[in-house]
């Protein structure tokens, strides 16, 4: 039986693909204040601005390609039962071939009802050749189509299935997200005591509370190469 290998990926995973998935330290996302484009209040105030912002972001996403780190995660499916939990709204894991991906913060490639965002009847996939939503377009329930994104302040319904995956992990790997920030810190606490945990991040990190964390000080692709070397004994 294959060991359960669970990844938690954040913004640092997609940096090498040239796609900024999240706000910078200055509180801006692609030069827009986060409050304008990633909150429920921003959506209510100006849905046209928000719709056009995500149209622009979607085009940037479809111009980006999965990097070697994404592909190496996919390659581990040959030897492990792999689950990817991602904070990223891009679809780069899926395009690299990963089969089991949980999106905590929604998916940029989809739009949904603004009344019932998780009603599957009204969730629409937008392909690369038709990824623009005209402002004012209605969902099947008559409400405005909105980005299938978890805005700041909204509930994160996928955290529950993510926590179950973390509980079942034999090995847990964090890439490109801080241990100090929700949800990474929370999900680590769900892991079984004593399992190996790897943190891939080029920066210094505070991991003092977790004695079983191995820090691989590298970016996503280089870090994944080193991780595969470290995981080799577990495959046997």
* Residue 207 belongs to domain with CATH number: 3.40.50.1220
Mean pLDDT (the chain) is 90
Q: Is residue 168 domain-shared with residue 199, that is, in the same domain?
A: yes
CA–CA distance, 85 with 65 (Å, rounded to integer): 19
46 and 129 in a single domain? The answer is yes
Report DSSP letters for the chain, one per residue: -PPEEEEEE-HHHHGGGT---S--TTSEETTEEHHHHSBHHHHHH-HHHHHHHHHHHHHHHHH----HHHHHHHHGGGTSEEEEEES--S-HHHHTT-S-EEESSEEEEEEEESS-TT-GGG-EE--GGG----TT-B-TTSSBEEEEE--BTS--TTHHHHHHHHHH-SEEEEESS-TTSTTHHHHHTTSPTT--EEEE-SS----TT-TTEEEE-S-HHHHHHHHHHHHHHHH-
Estimate to the nearest angstrom the gap between the alpha carbon of 7 and the chain centroid: 10
Residue 152's pLDDT is 87
Q: 142 with 217, same domain?
A: no
- Domain with 5, as residue range(s), is 1-18+67-105+156-236
Question: Does the pLDDT value for residue 184 go beyond 70?
Answer: no
Overall average pLDDT of the 221-232 stretch: 94
**25 with 98, same domain?**
no
The CATH number for 131's domain is: 3.30.1600.10
pLDDT at 113: 97
Contact 92, 66 (CB under 8 A): yes
Q: Give the pLDDT confidence of 111-138 residue by residue, as tens digits.
A: 999 999 999 999 999 999 999 999 999 9
**Domain stops at, among 122, 149, 176:** 149
Question: What is d(CA 82, CA 76) in angstroms, rounded to the nearest whole number?
Answer: 7
Residues with active-site annotation? 105
Same domain, 199 and 93: yes
What per-residue confidence (pLDDT) applies to 178? 75
192 and 99 housed in the same domain: yes
- 36 CB-near residues (< 8 Å, 6+ apart): 42, 45, 46, 49, 50, 53
Residue appearing with tokens 């979607």: 58
Is the per-residue pLDDT at 234 higher than 90?
A: no
My answer on whether 164 and 200 are in the same domain is yes
């Amino acid at each position: 039986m294959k060991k359960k290998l669970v990844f938690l990926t954040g913004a640092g995973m997609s940096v090498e693909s040239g796609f900024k998935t999240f706000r910078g330290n200055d509180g801006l996302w692609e030069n827009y204040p986060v409050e304008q484009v990633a909150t429920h209040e921003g959506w209510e105030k100006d849905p046209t601005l928000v719709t056009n912002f995500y149209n622009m972001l979607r085009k940037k996403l479809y111009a980006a390609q999965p990097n070697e780190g994404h592909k190496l995660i996919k390659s581990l499916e040959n030897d492990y039962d792999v689950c990817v939990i991602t904070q990223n709204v891009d679809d780069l894991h899926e395009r690299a071939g990963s089969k089991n991906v949980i999106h905590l913060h929604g998916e940029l490639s989809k739009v949904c009802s603004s009344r019932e965002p998780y009603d599957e009847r009204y969730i629409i996939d937008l392909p690369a050749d038709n990824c623009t939503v005209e402002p004012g377009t209605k969902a099947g329930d008559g409400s405005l189509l909105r980005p299938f994104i978890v805005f700041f302040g909204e509930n994160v319904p996928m955290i529950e299935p993510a926590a179950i995956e973390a509980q079942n992990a034999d090995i847990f790997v964090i890439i490109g997200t801080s241990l100090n920030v929700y949800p990474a810190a929370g999900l680590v606490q769900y892991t079984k005591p004593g399992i190996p945990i790897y943190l891939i991040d080029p920066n210094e990190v505070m991991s003092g509370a977790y004695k079983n964390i191995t820090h691989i000080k590298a970016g996503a692709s280089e870090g994944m190469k080193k991780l595969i070397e470290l995981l080799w004994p577990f495959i046997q």
